[in-house]
Structure 1
Amino acid sequence: MRIIIQRVQYASVKVDNEITGKINNGLLVLAGFEPEDNQEDFEWISKKIVQLRIFGDESGVMNLDIKQVNGDILVVSQFTLHASTKKGNRPSYIKASKPDEAKTQYNNFINVLKTHIDSEIQTGIFGADMKVELLNDGPVTIYIDSKNKE
């Protein structure tokens, strides 16, 4: 499982010009899945998300986590995180989970993430053509791959 976390002042996702998820002050999480991803990956990534100390404290030092700032989370599926660009100019997505499997993984991941945070998690619509708007705060953007735990 691969994710991109962006600390945001706000973020929203639209499908067919309608907002399906919207947050203020929190984390936009773009999530991509591959067939081998399982509950262990979802747990590990979820804990990383809620424990990352990437919000400023009273001194402006990144020392606080999402819970400490009462932040929100918006999760958007992003199969292109598994793009391979080694050959040619057209990315290959052969490593990404197939849509049916990825949708199940996406929903399972969101359910695991919900167990680690009290605030509601906002989402896009899996497989839809989504328009994501955000104001990256910092900017702070972090890449995490559950296959690189060590």
Structure 2
Amino acid sequence: MSKPTLYARSLCIHSAWIQQQLVEIGVDHDTVYIDYLERAARRNLVRELERTRSPVTFPVMVLNNGDDMTKPKLFALSTCVHCAKVKELLISLNVDFDTLYVDRLAGDERNHRMRELKGYNPEISFPTLVVGDQVVIGAKEQRIREILLGE
């Protein structure tokens, strides 16, 4: 997966706050300060961003190479029965999602994913399901259905 890019304004308090949050949870990313771009480059950037979101306001986080920030992510343990229940539910609902079995990770990758999980769930409990800006901690089927299906 490639690094996300944060397009920001250099003197914007919101840009600074997002930058700080990304650093705290350990997200390796690039930052482009749009006020330092030449006028034509800035105009082209805005046009490109408008193809996927409108209106364009800064700061904007862009996940590169087609990565989808809204694709659900399940933080799980390979031996956890509750994690398996959530995974089965997502499969039964035909949801395209990523599963991260943190107990199967090692070294820097494990440390990075644990910091990422702690940003969503400071208690670091399993399962933890992240869907966009929504977080479900535990095997809460009804809550998961509400978020994914609007039930």
TM interval, shorter chain, is under 0.3
Higher relative contact order (CA 8 A, sep 6+): 1
- For the pair shown, the structure with the greater C-alpha radius of gyration is 2
TM-score (normalised: structure 2): 0.22
Compare the two structures and name the one with the higher helix fraction.
2
Compare the two structures and name the one with the higher strand fraction.
1
TM-score (normalised: structure 1): 0.22
